[in-house]
């Protein structure tokens, strides 16, 4: 772990694809073809959607709004739980994710931004950047606050473990349902393919749209130094992350839909979670933020 020295994102990076590490990612996509082998059932489709939504929330609420922006507070124990749940999305460890995201905010749409579609193209921003050798290491200098927790460093190193356990759980769910409710027409292999492989690949590309499409399509409410845009449809896909121009204007808030009519399911879920006492001190949007650097109505 670096302790003050320049990190892997602070200079020229090796942008060659790291094929040994990229192969599992490719294999996950190929495994989706298993739907033609295991067949279809409504319960498997329901599990696919449910696990997509649940794990999208783990990414948006925990990896993004907590670990990247510290937009609410929690206990050390639940912090670890959130990190472990985030790992089930298969988007690497919480410190890797937060470090790269913090770097993105510091260099948004500049040349050093690893996933700027303006600088590097739409496909690279969507799917290429994180498969490279230069972007694989955790940028420790951006997550010094989290690196002081040994359990988070451990989980960041073994980020594949919760993902593997989740895959095993989907198989086990199918096996159990085949015995307990055979009328549902599912089994272990079918639930694994739909509940894990298909759901995970959809989750990948849903998340990636914010890096790519949210910097190209939509409207700008605030004058930011990047090309971030607000997009309702991306907010549907990502549980509220599509209000990307809002977010780049004021990243510190736990709420990305700044107004009641801006759909932000992650914000709603965080409010409900706060009622349990597991999280607290959700950062709102200050009124002054709503008018600062606002673009005139009708401008793009």
Could you state, in order of their start, the residue ranges of all structural domains in the chain? Answer: 19-222
Give residue-wise pLDDT tens across range 226-265.
999 999 999 999 999 999 999 999 999 999 999 999 999 9
Per-residue pLDDT of the chain (300 residues), as tens digits, is: 433 334 556 556 788 999 999 999 999 999 999 999 999 999 999 999 999 999 999 999 999 999 999 999 999 999 999 999 999 999 999 999 999 999 999 999 998 999 999 999 999 999 999 999 999 999 999 999 999 999 999 999 999 999 999 999 999 999 999 999 999 999 999 999 999 999 999 999 999 999 999 999 999 999 999 999 999 999 999 999 999 999 999 999 999 999 999 999 999 999 999 999 999 999 999 999 999 889 866 444
Question: For the whole model, what pTM was predicted?
Answer: 0.93
> CB count, 10 Å around CB of 288?
8
By the 8 A CB rule, do 187 and 77 touch?
Answer: no
- Print burial letters for 226-250: b (CB count within 10 Å at least 16), e (below 16): bbbbbbeebbebbbbbbbbbbbbbb
By the 8 A CB rule, do 213 and 231 touch?
Answer: yes
By the 8 A CB rule, do 193 and 48 touch?
Answer: no
Q: Can you tell me the distance from the alpha carbon of 78 to that of 147, in angstroms, rounded to the nearest whole number? A: 16
The pLDDT value recorded for residue 2 is 39
């Amino acid at each position: 772990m670096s302790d003050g020295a320049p990190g892997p994102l602070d200079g020229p990076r090796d942008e060659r694809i790291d094929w040994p590490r990229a192969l599992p990612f490719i294999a996950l996509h190929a495994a989706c073809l298993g739907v033609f082998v295991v067949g279809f059932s409504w319960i498997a489709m329901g599990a696919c959607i449910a696990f997509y939504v649940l794990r999208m929330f783990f990414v948006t609420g925990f990896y993004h709004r907590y670990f990247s922006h510290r937009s609410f507070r929690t206990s050390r124990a639940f912090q670890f739980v959130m990190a472990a749940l985030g790992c089930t999305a298969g988007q690497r460890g919480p410190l890797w994710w937060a470090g790269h995201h913090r770097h993105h905010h510091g260099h948004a749409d500049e040349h050093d931004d690893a996933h700027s579609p303006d600088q590097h193209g739409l496909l690279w921003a969507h799917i290429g950047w994180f498969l490279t050798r230069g972007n694989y290491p955790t940028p420790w200098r951006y997550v010094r606050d989290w690196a002081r927790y040994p359990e988070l460093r451990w989980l960041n190193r073994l980020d594949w473990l919760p993902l593997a356990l989740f895959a095993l759980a989907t198989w086990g769910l199918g096996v159990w349902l085949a015995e307990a409710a055979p009328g549902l027409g599912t089994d272990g292999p079918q639930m694994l393919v739909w509940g894990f492989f298909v759901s995970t690949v959809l989750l990948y590309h849903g998340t990636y749209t914010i890096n790519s499409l949210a910097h190209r399509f939509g409207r700008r409410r605030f004058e930011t130094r990047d090309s971030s845009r607000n997009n309702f449809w991306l907010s549907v896909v990502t549980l509220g992350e599509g209000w990307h121009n809002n977010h780049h204007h004021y990243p510190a808030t736990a709420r990305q839909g700044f107004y009641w009519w801006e759909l932000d399911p992650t914000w709603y879920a965080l409010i409900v979670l706060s009622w349990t006492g597991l999280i607290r001190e959700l950062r709102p949007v200050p009124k002054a933020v709503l008018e600062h650097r606002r673009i005139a109505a009708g401008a793009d």
